[in-house]
Structure 1
Amino acid sequence: MRTLQMDEIYVSDEESEKNDYFNIQGDKEYNLNLSQSQQLREVIIQSQQSVINRRQQTLQHLNHQFEEWNIQLTMGNNVMVYGWGSKHQLLENFVDYCQENSDEHDWIVFNGYTPTADTRQILQIVLNQVLHISASGTPLEQLSRIRSAMANRERKLRLLVHSIDGRAIENWADQNRLSLLAAITNLTVIASIDHYQGMTGWDAEMLEGFRWVWYEASTFEHYLQETTDSDSVIHNTTTSDKDIHMNGLRYILRSLTQNGRKIFHILAQQQIESGEEGGLPYSLFYQKCKEKFLVANEASFRSHLTEFFDHRVFVVRNDKDVPSYIIPMSSGQLQHVLDTEFEHKE
């Protein structure tokens, strides 16, 4: 039997055309997936730059409100700022603004977001370092001494409270002390609140003591200072799969709307069910969110995604050459987050 050489094997024109067709289609599919991945990266980069530009414009606009905030404090009112994003740097800038324009006030800055925050620390600092009197006794006795001393004091005191709804001070006792402080003559408070339900813990007496004048101050800034100082660092997961620190993620989730939390829940549940390598492609993720009436259209969906990307909660990874969204955490960590931060109905 003679062995056929390769150049002697006959291939019909029809079979050759079929082979060419499938080769071309395979190349098209590969190029399409590659093109989608590149386009998605370009869209993300453009969106992030657009967000940065808008943040800068927003901060400039908010800086113009400093004079009005200062007037409210001078009149004896207390100021509360709320809205999307960290207000930490904004309020620090406000303190600098006030000190540059006037030397009539003492300032105390209190970080309510730290795990060890305790409003009794404020009482001790006011008594020891501002009024230079004894800090002995119960908190109520300390408050009474502060009230008496401040009534006859020419130099006024201003208290800045970052994250007045911080987990360590959200209890009734700490909030009651803050409201009693805010009601003292010649002492005014400016504070930030991060969670839209943070105010639900105040009763009528607290609200009367606080006398808040509310200002919307959405900065859309990362909660870097709050999470870093509270040992809740959000690691850079843009180019790697490092875990998000659990406490940092909890802080971000508390600042989200209900729909935003549910969008996170969808992706987290998907990863838990499909394993740590599981994710959701854009189209499927959008479809799931729309079916649950969490977004009205793609613009709304992309807005939520941008926020998650800004806080580095979501990252994009190519699963079998298809870009998919994932949360860079283990299934065990995600399950713990869902068990502790979400109600069963979510």
Structure 2
Amino acid sequence: MEIDDVDEEEVGFSRNYFLAKESGSSSSKKSGRKVSDIQVVDEQELIAAVANIEPKHEKEIAALKDSYKSSYSEWVFLLRCGFGLLFYGFGSKKALIEDFASTALSEYTVVVVNGYLQSINVKQVVVTVAELLLEFLKSRKKSPKANLPNLQQPFSSRSMEDLFSFLDGSWMEGNDCFVCVVIHNIDGPGLRDSDTQRCLAQLAACSNVRIIASIDHVNSPLLWDKKMVHTQFNWYWLHTPTYEPYKIEGMFFPLILAHGNTTQSAKTATIVLQSLTPNAQSVFRVLAEYQMSHPDEEGMLVSSLYATCRERFLVSSQVTLNSHLTEFKDHELVKIKRHPDGEDCLHIPLAKEALEKLLSEIN
């Protein structure tokens, strides 16, 4: 076949392709269906249906988990050498890591952090590690108390630099003086921001700390730069697929195939509000009552909320109101939108029925 014949065939194929697309576009009609038209089930019904799914390959999964136990001694050796253990692979690794910690690390102090939770206080984690290390040092007979620093000030009131300095101190000779910090899902939503990851990297770089973590997100390695991976975390990557479902980790994420549960949302918000001060609860009540009485509006302006709270002697200044609003935002009780006038507008992301139930609970 000659080259001219090949070119003619390609041109003919291209012409027919575009003619077919043109004729198809003129006769076809766009679908009027929307995502909102999908009939999704109630959240409780979906949870019940998922619970009734029979597990598969239980024997094979159990055999796979048992095969990892032969590596426990190797993993402990890696920790003593200064490495951090990073578990990755398909399936929940929570049960595997906890079994390793409870059996092979029984002689060490272990702190467990559930990174799959929505919000985590990282400083409290560091404070807990420092307190446990101090108790460990005091319990060791070979540890002379004279070598310990002056700890008249509690760890909770110390700065992060002081805490890291204490955790990085050479209080004991050898490689056995360290606290193991188990972090389930170090790539979780509550730990995913850069500041938190840098703080965890500083914690991992301390000579008296070892990090044992798991990842599940495909882009998790993008959380760290070269220094964090090789110098601070000093990861030893362990491919440990378990093929177990993410039952516990998935409990804290909304189900995309189900309607939001009004009762559960109100219950969660009630628990959060009960932990706040009475003044904060009263400020939230003002916002909720306004939202229920003005359902067509996007929310309540911050200036309007401040004026109302001042009239009811709930706040004395804008600074006091801002502190309450910060608590609301941190606990995801309130969303902030930009009003067309340029002012911030506050909105509670709950349905009217959930708001009514919430107000009745806190009353």
TM-score by length of 1: 0.49
TM-score by length of 2: 0.47
